[in-house]
Structure 1
Amino acid sequence: MQILTLFLVALVALEHIGIAGLEMFSKPDIQANAFDMPVNFLKTKEAHTALSNQGIYNGMLGVLILMMILFFTGSTLKMILIMMMIYIIIVAIYGGLTATRKILFVQGLPALVALIFVAIFYK
């Protein structure tokens, strides 16, 4: 079960790296569909800059999670992963309340499942 748990956490990390790619490099039409935002807004320089900035944070969060899996083990890794999954859940709740409820399901739910697996199955 520990391997499955780490696999689920790695999927959360890869999801954030993928979201970073969408936020930083996708065309406004794709971003509008993915993030439930108006295309005209996403074509502005300010929106592009803000979304790219948000993307770098998501990308680095994903990379950081993968690095933690590679460099730590045992109870240290368990505590780090619990804190990171809680952080993602809090951010997803905030995003769900302020941007679109889709964030709760797309980012929050996978992190919640991973958190449960880490708390129960990772030793």
Structure 2
Amino acid sequence: MQILTLFLVALVALEHIGIAGLEMFAKPDIQANAFDMPVNFVKTKEAQTALSNQGIYNGMLGVLILMMILFFTGSTLKTILILLMIYIIVVAVYGAVTATKKILYMQGLPALIALIFVLIFYK
């Protein structure tokens, strides 16, 4: 079950790298649809700058999670993964309140599932 747990956490990381790709490189029409924003707003220079900035954060979070899986083991890794999954859940709740409820299900739910697996199955 530990391997399944790490696989789920890695999927959360890859999701954040994928979100970074959308935020930084996708066309405005795709971004608007993905993030429930008006296309006219997403096409503005300010929105593109903000999305790119957010993309860096999401991408680096995904990379950080993957690096933690590669470089740490045991109780140290368990603690790190718990903290990172809680961080993602908190950010998803904030995003659901301030932006769109879709964030809670798309980012918060996978992190919650991964957190439960880490707590129960990772030794």
TM-score tier, shorter chain, comes to over 0.9
Which amino acid is 1:17 matched to?
A: I
Which amino acid is 1:39 matched to?
A: V
Alpha-carbon distance between aligned partners in 2 of 1:109 and 1:88, rounded to the nearest angstrom: 10
Which amino acid is 1:65 matched to?
A: I
The SS at the match of 2:80 is helix
Which amino acid is 1:20 matched to?
A: A
Partner of 2:8: 8
**Any stretches of 5+ residues in structure 1 without a counterpart?**
none
Alpha-carbon distance between aligned partners in 2 of 1:90 and 1:55, rounded to the nearest angstrom: 18
Partner of 2:79: 79
Alpha-carbon RMSD: 0.2
Partner of 1:38: 38
Q: CA deviation at 1:75?
A: 0.1
Aligned length in residues:
123
Alpha-carbon distance between aligned partners in 2 of 1:113 and 1:24, rounded to the nearest angstrom: 27
Which amino acid is 1:31 matched to?
A: Q
Which amino acid is 1:30 matched to?
A: I
Which amino acid is 2:74 matched to?
A: G
Q: CA deviation at 1:58?
A: 0.1
Partner of 2:102: 102
Partner of 1:116: 116
Output the TM-score relative to the length of structure 1: 1.00
Question: 4+ residue stretches of structure 1 with deviation over 6 A?
Answer: none
Q: CA deviation at 1:95?
A: 0.1
| Residue deviations 1:70-122 (CA, integer Å, cap 9, x gap) | 00000000000000000000000000000000000000000000000000000
| Residue deviations 1:7-31 (CA, integer Å, cap 9, x gap) | 0000000000000000000000000
Within 5 Å, give how 1:17-32 maps onto structure 2.
Answer: 17-32=17-32
Alpha-carbon distance between aligned partners in 2 of 1:43 and 1:36, rounded to the nearest angstrom: 13
Within 5 Å, give how 1:61-80 maps onto structure 2.
Answer: 61-80=61-80
Q: CA deviation at 1:50?
A: 0.3
Report % sequence identity: 88
